[in-house]
Amino acid sequence: MVITDEDELDAFWDIARAHASLAGVPVYTGENPFRTLRPPSWAFGSTPEQADELLSLVLDGTKTATASSCADYAKEGEQLPAPRTLSIVLDGSGHPRALVVTTHARVVPFDQVDADHARDEGEGDGSLDHWRAVHERFFDEHADGGFLPDMPVVLERFRLLYPTR
């Protein structure tokens, strides 16, 4: 993936937080961390094409959930997503395109992911069988430690706060 320009991220964050009414009123509430702290940025998938395809599903409202390998968070030393966590989603070229907020996150074994989550990921025909086939292949190729049927998977639901086209 292309490295995102910090100035571009800052400009996006300025617009997105104002549009999403995140800044608050500092006179009444004190300094709001949303006024100064830019959330982390990331892209879906492992290729620019996957990033663009999955981002388009987010922007059109089809994709409201995602899944990732729990082992990858540990390997990178990153905290797991939690409710109210903001993220800037990048396109396949590394440009910021959307601001999302996590609404729910949980860790479950791969083989216990349910049909509701698979549907909310918005990919393919939305079935659990499709979800399992695609994610087994993805985790086998890209997850730290590869794929295991009972591997811990982070299931995250999110809401789109600010899109750009």
Give the count of domains, the chain: 1
CA distance 14 to 136: 38
Residue 104's domain spans which residues? 6-163
Q: Which residue has the tokens 């009972």?
A: 150
How is residue 9 written in tokens? Answer: 């991220």
Closest to 135 in 3D by CA, of 40, 74, 46: 46
CATH of the domain at 122: 3.10.400.10
Q: Which residue has the tokens 């990919």?
A: 123
Task: Specify if 31 maps to a domain.
Answer: yes
Task: Specify if 12 maps to a domain.
Answer: yes
Give residue-wise pLDDT tens across range 142-159: 999 999 999 999 999 999
E strand or H helix at 161: strand 152-163
Is residue 1 very low, low, confident or very high in pLDDT (cuts 50, 70, 90)?
very low
Task: Specify if 102 maps to a domain.
Answer: yes
Give residue-wise pLDDT tens across range 95-132: 999 999 999 999 999 999 999 999 999 999 999 999 99
Give residue-wise pLDDT tens across range 41-100: 999 999 999 999 999 999 999 999 999 999 999 999 999 999 999 999 999 999 999 999
**Buried-exposed string 85-110: b where 16+ CB fall within 10 A, e elsewhere:** bbbbbbbbebbbbbbbbbeeeeebeb
Task: Specify if 16 maps to a domain.
Answer: yes
Task: Specify if 1 maps to a domain.
Answer: no
Q: Enter the DSSP assignment of 3.
A: P
CA distance 109 to 98: 29
